[in-house]
Structure 1
Amino acid sequence: MVYDVAPFHTVSRFSVADLGLARETWNPAGQPTLLFAHGFGQTRGAWSSAAMALADAGCRCVTFDARGHGESDRAAGAAGSGRGYHMNQFADDLLRLAAAQPQPPILVGASMGGLLGIVLAGEVRPAPFRALVLVDITPRWETAGVERILAFMQAHPDGFANYAEAAEQIAAYLPQRRERKSTEQLRPLLREGIDGRLRWHWDPALLSGDLVQESERYQPRLQAAAAKIDVPVLLLSGARSDVVSRATVDEFLQLVPHAQHVELPHASHMVAGDANDAFTREVARFVRGLKPSVDRPQAGAAQP
């Protein structure tokens, strides 16, 4: 079902299993295809500025809300249990989206989205992606940085009385940002409950899934997958990040010696939001350096 049929931009839903994922496409006739996968607790809106700029440069850009996030469906029966929010389910959703593209896409994955990209690029053959852009994420990460993110997500279970209150909390969480989010910018990030309170767009049951409860047990799997990646890779890290460090970057570059690494000096873990112009410039440079895409059969399901 298509909501907006403007020539340059469409909004639609994509079915995975029994869920519908909200999806946006910029410049549908462009090449190559960039498929953007956001981080845990984010929405496709995190990519809007970058996707529009890269679409203007000729690329076909696809963003989506992961299951349980934004305007995508929440997993049935997940309340309080985390069922429906496990790594293999998120990975399979991404694999299906990649297979639906005209050619194997270039994956641009931030945080959780990047981890899913590592798993699929390393474990699935043929590789479902033409190339990978990993945004401030490595197979091993700094625990303190992840704990700070989760603390913010868990901090306001009763929501907010109004948008101004939510904007104040975001400003405290992201002090590097100069401007507070406006009400219009906040609307896609919050849902109004029957009690009139505004709560974050994501399903609270996400916090009970294994991506949170057992995330570090996946690190050996992620490291093994990274060592098998045979497509071009660009790692973009933020110099102010508390999730990725010099040690985790060096370890990743040993696992994937053909990877390129660029550190953006003014960015934190929220790379695209902190330094969108620099981020977009580096992605465009990487894409220009890739060999022309060749159609090939799409990959099968992710391995458990």
Structure 2
Amino acid sequence: MIAGTLAFTGAAGNRLVASVFGEGPRSVLLLHGGGQTRHAWEETAKRLAAEGWRALCLDQRGHGDSERAPDGAYSFLAFAADAAHVGRSLAREGDVPVAIGASLGGIASLLALGETPAGADAPFRGLVLVDIVPRMDPRGVDKIQGFMRAHAREGFASIEAAADAVAAYLPHRPRPRSLDGLRKNLRLSEDGRWRWHWDPAFLDGPASVNADWEHAEARLHHATRTLCVPTLLVRGGSSELVTPEAAKDFLAMAPDAEFVDVAEARHMVAGDANDVFADAVTGFLARRLG
């Protein structure tokens, strides 16, 4: 099912790596959440490929096999610039992609559309936002970032220790029998400890995602009000980040957007209820963008 990997160039000349599933004529660009890697999308990508799409799962800057930012540039607008760069690279080949973005990836893809200069072609022809809206619950943000920070720099003595930490954070999920999936999100350091496959400066550096949130939030509201591509918002029914009220606010700003609430899921919707999530996404793509 996997067709291989591709390398893209980001907005700062940074190298970005993507896995490709399927060989369909229409592309979907999948952008993971903060602290994840492209491997978070594998099951969704296989489903999309089976439906005739070419699914490109991208490691965003500082994550997975993509290049870390030597200047620590991890602002939301930097991620958005990368997303737009990749979208336009695909468009130059004659295939304007649909963007599917979870959390950080959703912010990046929404901003990429909102920051498109007047008169320029949009980098995406459709958008799926996975449990992300401009107005996030700060308690949920603190909880998620707290987990990410807990072992970001010191790492773990073993993969099993990392699995214990994940199980404690996600007690609603059955513990996987194999550690192979988790292994893809870790790397073995020279000191023998396993660390997450993302740059800790993403959260704590001088130009991190937390550095200028108020400006980014204002730009996200602008991007939402000016959306001009078919859009689907998928919310986890027990989301820590997107309240029902915040979802309603988004839909009021983007009245043409579709909405699905996945009752079985928390913030990591695809990981919690991938079959339900994939049904919602493939149905939307068939109706609006097939």
Partner of 2:259: 261
Partner of 2:168: 172
Partner of 2:159: 163
Does structure 2 retain, via aligned residues, the 8 Å contact 1:167–1:182? no
Mind listing any 5+ residue stretches in structure 1 that lack a counterpart?
1-6, 293-304
- Equivalent position to 2:35, from 35, 41, 48: 41
Partner of 1:153: 148
The 3 A distance-change label for structure 1 pair 45 and 8 is: closer
Question: What are the residue-to-residue correspondences of 1:102-121 with 2, within 5 Å?
Answer: 102-121=94-113
User: TM-score under structure 1 normalisation?
Assistant: 0.88
Does residue 1:91 correspond to 2:118, yes or no? no
Give 4+ residue runs of structure 1 displaced > 6 Å after superposition.
Answer: none
Partner of 2:208: 210
The 3 A distance-change label for structure 1 pair 74 and 8 is: closer
Question: What are the residue-to-residue correspondences of 1:175-186 with 2, within 5 Å?
Answer: 175-180=171-176, 182-186=178-182
State the AA in 1 paired with 2:122. A
Query: Structure 2 CA distance, aligned partners of 1:92 and 1:129?
Result: 13
Does structure 2 retain, via aligned residues, the 8 Å contact 1:43–1:65? yes
Query: Structure 1 CA distance, aligned partners of 2:239 and 2:214?
Result: 18
Does structure 1 retain, via aligned residues, the 8 Å contact 2:18–2:56? yes
Does structure 1 retain, via aligned residues, the 8 Å contact 2:38–2:58? yes
Does structure 2 retain, via aligned residues, the 8 Å contact 1:123–1:228? no
- Equivalent position to 2:243, from 242, 245, 252: 245
Moved more, 229-238 or 31-40: 31-40
How well do the aligned residues superpose, as a CA RMSD in angstroms? 1.5
Does structure 1 retain, via aligned residues, the 8 Å contact 2:73–2:208? no
State the AA in 2 paired with 1:149. I
Deviations 1:203-226 (A, max 9, x none): 111112331233244212110111
Aligned-residue identity in percent: 40
Deviations 1:8-40 (A, max 9, x none): 511132222332111111113x03211101111
Does residue 1:133 correspond to 2:133, yes or no? no
